[in-house]
Amino acid sequence: MNHFESKFNLLVKKIKFVDVIINLSYLKNKSWGTNFLKLKSKDLKENLFLQLGTNIMISQKSINYFIKQGYGNLILFSSIQGVSAPKFSHYSNTKMSSPIEYSAVKAGIINMTKYLAKFCKGKKIRINCISPGGILDSQPISFVKKYRDSCLSKGLLSSDDLNGVVEFLVSNNSEFINGQNLIIDDGWTL
C-alpha cells in the first residue's frame, strides 16, 4: 500500500490532476493455489487481505483524492469467476487450479464497486468494474480447448480484447454508467 501511495503522490505532483484510476492489483502469497481441503487459515487471511484488502485501501486513497479534486473515475477489475463458479472440468489433467479465495475476492470486488458508487453519490465520482474472461497466457492446450468449448467463438481473450471497454469507461460516452460490472467473456458465463 505504501508503494501505491508514494507512486500516486509523485504522479499527482507531476501532472496535478488524475481523471481516472484503473486498479488491476493482484497480489498473492506463496501458498496461492492450495487445494481447498488443505487451505490454512493464516494463508487464507493473508491472501484475502492482499487481494481484497489492497483493493479496498487503493479505492479509499483514490476516492479521497477524487473528493478533494471534485471529480474522478475509478475502474476496478474483477473476473468472470466473481459472477460464476469455476468450470472445474477445464482444469482436469493440468497443474492449474482455481482457488476459492479467487472467486471470493472477485465477487467481493463486484459488490465493492456497487457499494462505492452509492457511497460517492453526489460527488461526481464514478466507480465501475470490468470482469474479463480468461486471458490467454501459456495455458495447457487441453485447458484452452475446453475453455473455448464453453465460449461462443474465440475462447480465451487477449489483453487487447479489453481495450475497447476500458476506453469506453474512461470516456465521457459512459458518463452515466456507475456502479456497474461489465462482463467481457465471449459468452463463458452463459
Parts of the chain with a pLDDT under 70? 1-2
State the average pLDDT for the chain: 94
Name the grid cell of 37. 481441503
pLDDT at 1: 54
Element (H, E) at 101: helix 100-119
| 67-82 pLDDT per residue, tens | 999 999 999 999 999 9
Output the CA–CA distances (angstroms, integers) from residue 52 to 23, 106, 165, 178, in the order listed: 12, 8, 23, 20
As a whole number of angstroms, the distance between CA 65 and CA 63 comes to: 5
Nearest-Å Rg of the Cα atoms of the chain is 18
Q: Domains of the chain (ranges plus CATH)?
A: 15-28+38-184 (3.40.50.720)
Question: Active-site residue 91, yes or no?
Answer: no
Query: Residues 65, 71, 91, 102: which is the catalytic one?
Result: 102
As a whole number of angstroms, the distance between CA 187 and CA 190 comes to: 5
Whether the Cβ atoms of residue 48 and residue 54 lie closer than 8 Å to each other: no
| 98-123 pLDDT per residue, tens | 999 999 999 999 999 999 999 999 99
Name the grid cell of 51. 487481494
Phi/psi of residue 91, nearest 5 degrees? -90, -10
The answer, as to whether pTM is greater than 0.85, is yes
